[in-house]
Structures are given as structure tokens and as C-alpha cells.
Amino acid sequence: MEDLKVVIGSDHAGYEYKEKIIDYLNARNIPYTDIGTHTKESCDYPVIARSVCERVISGKSNRGILICGTGIGMSIAANKVRGIRAALCSDTYSARTSRAHNNANVLCLGERVIGEHLMLDIVDIWLHTGFEGNRHKRRVDMIE
Ligand code: RB5
């Protein structure tokens, strides 16, 4: 699997989980770019989604993580960007399979939906699972 270069962003409703994921990344020396938001003041998730996705498409980062209240707004916005395959995950099976089968390049999370420990398990599995390719590559190519 390629070296991880993460880009992360949240709105105000995902801010606390963003900071927890940054602690996780720092503890493991995984390089990342923090797009913001940097406070709990209300902000608009589509703007953050766009910035994170553009960085993934540019190749400066190879994995994006987006957090909002539900993860839904972020995933809708992210999947509008050509080349982005955003997976909204609330369980570890989906996190693993979104990488192995769908080659998801963006993970979306809902801070108001799942607990912190499950969230960190999802992040860990998602970052460290590779794409299986083969028949799954054919299907992903059909999407692209
Ligand atoms: C913000 O209140 C909330 O709507 C946003 O974080 C997100 O859940 C939208 O999908």
C-alpha cells in the first residue's frame, strides 16, 4: 500500500472528532493536512468538503477524512467531485470493505452518530486497508 498522506476537515459539528483523529495521526507519525474548521463556530460543510476533495484529486494527499454531524452532508458534497469515492461509515465492516472493494479515497463520519472509540477503530481500519483490485477494479472503473 502507498504511504499515507491524509487531508482532514470538518464543520463545527465534527470539530471534536477531527481533533481526536489528529491526535491519532500524530501519535502514529502519519502525515496530514488540516483544512479546518479550527473553532466550534458554525460554518458550512460543503466548503470544507470541496477543499479536502480537491487536495485528494490533486494528489497532494491520497486519503481524505471529512466529519460533520451526521456525515451525510459531507458525503453528498464529496461525491459531487469527479474522481472522489466517499464512503460514509458507521461500522468497521463498511470501513474495511469501502477500501477493499470500492477503493474509497474519502471517509465520512458523523460525530453525532457514533461513539469516539468506534470512530477511531473505523479510521484505523480504513487507513490501513488496501484495495483488492481485480473484479473490484473493473467496477470502480465503470463508475469513473
Ligand atoms: C450541522 O448542524 C449539520 O447539519 C451538519 O454537520 C451535517 O450533519 C450535515 O449533513
* CATH number, residue 22: 3.40.1400.10
Order the strands of the 6-10 sheet from edge to edge. 32-36, 6-10, 63-68, 106-110, 86-88
Among 10, 40, 70, residue to substitute to test ligand 1 (most atoms within 8 Å of Cβ) = 70
Q: How many domains does the chain have?
A: 1
Closest CA to 65 of 97, 93, 95: 95
- pLDDT of res. 2: 83
Strands 86-88 and 32-36: unpaired
Give the pLDDT of residue 1: 77
> 100: domain range?
6-143
Predicted pLDDT of residue 105: 98
Ranges of the chain with pLDDT below 50:
none
Counting ligand 1 atoms within 8 A of each CB, the residue from 37, 41, 42, 45 with the most, and so the one to mutate, is 45
**pLDDT attached to residue 111:** 98
pLDDT at residue 59, rounded to an integer:
98
Residue 1 within a domain: no
- Tallying the residues shown for the chain, one arrives at 144
CA 12 to chain centre: 16
Place of cell 500500500: 1
In a domain, 80, yes or no: yes
